[in-house]
Amino acid sequence: MVTTNYSAEYGRTSGAYINAITKSGTNEFHGSAYGFFRNSSLDALPFFTPPGATEAPFDRKQFGASAGYRIQKDKTFIFGDYEGIRQNLANANQNVVLSANAHNGILNNGAPPVASCPAGSTDVMPGVSNVCIDNLVLPYLQFFPIPSCPSGGCAAGDTGSFNVLGQSGTSENYFTIKFDHKFSDKDSVSSSYFYDFAPYTSTDSYAYTLLGTITHRQEMNIAEYHVFNPNLVNSARFGVSRVWSADQTPLKALNPLAADTKFGATPGQSVPIIEIPGVITAMQGGFGASGANLIGWTSWQFYDDPISHQGNARSEVWFQC
């Protein structure tokens, strides 16, 4: 790993530079395989977990294999590896929501009940409610659940905590393949390709909508090495990298309210993001409310690195585009 003071051979980065070398095949067959498993049975409960609670569901499987061999003895070799990850994890989300009294227009401010409400608002509990709720707001209160009260009841106040267990899932497949060919003692070529596809799903903080994120990466490179003479060696490399991702893509409405278009701020759309800044946790569980982010880019690179030795002197020229 190179962190600072890069030499001329490195570029196009503003952080640490990691140089990794992929294995190559040999005349003899070599391979390996592995597996890793973990689930909630091996987890301990957090220290402040209430009595009687159980571990949150969790399951992780990580597995892979690699192998290398010759295609033509002493000339052409191949190596490949695969890695897979399957994970399901429950995420505990704690949301600040309106209290049961606040849903009914009863605020914890000591104010007396309202005598009447102006047009366009509602006295939810006549003789008890001390504020009027706007008729345009009233239908959206159902998107905020009642607080999860402990056995002793909820503390006084206009807000409380609502705890919900969301679920996330990961299914990643990654593989690399590499070819090496030796033309002569002075000429050789090497090429590698990797593919990484990693779908990830999770829920919003209220577990109203299932959201998906997909990361798709591919990279291919080819390098040619030539020895002109004992004092001059050249390395030429070409590579292309393609990355594409889709973030926060709505996949499924887990609560029917999340996809009900009658709550949309725009005709035909689902409920938008609802929030009272600084008071409650924003409700972003409307189907498509947060919007999907689509990102993709392609990077092309070419390097040519001649290295010359003259006695005790060494000179290098790095060309990159």
Average pLDDT, stretch 225-239?
A: 90
Q: What percent of the chain has pLDDT over 90?
A: 57
Angle at 187 between CA 185 and CA 188, to 5 degrees: 105
Average pLDDT, stretch 200-220?
A: 92
Characterize 79-109 residue by residue with b for buried, 16 or more Cβ atoms within 10 angstroms of its Cβ, and e for exposed.
Answer: bbbbbebebbbeeeeebbbbbebbbbbbbee
Q: Which residues contact 276 (CB under 8 A, 6 or more apart)?
A: none
This prediction has a pTM of: 0.76
Domain ranges of the chain: 30-98+147-320, 100-145
* Res 291 pLDDT > 90: no
318 band by pLDDT with thresholds 50, 70 and 90: low
User: What pLDDT is stored for residue 136 in this prediction?
Assistant: 93
Helices (H), 175-266: none
User: What pLDDT is stored for residue 2 in this prediction?
Assistant: 72
User: What pLDDT is stored for residue 261 in this prediction?
Assistant: 92
| Share in percent of the chain as helix, strand, coil (round to 5) | 5, 50, 45
User: What pLDDT is stored for residue 258 in this prediction?
Assistant: 92
Average pLDDT, stretch 262-288?
A: 90
| Phi, psi (rounded to 5 degrees) for 257 | -60, -30
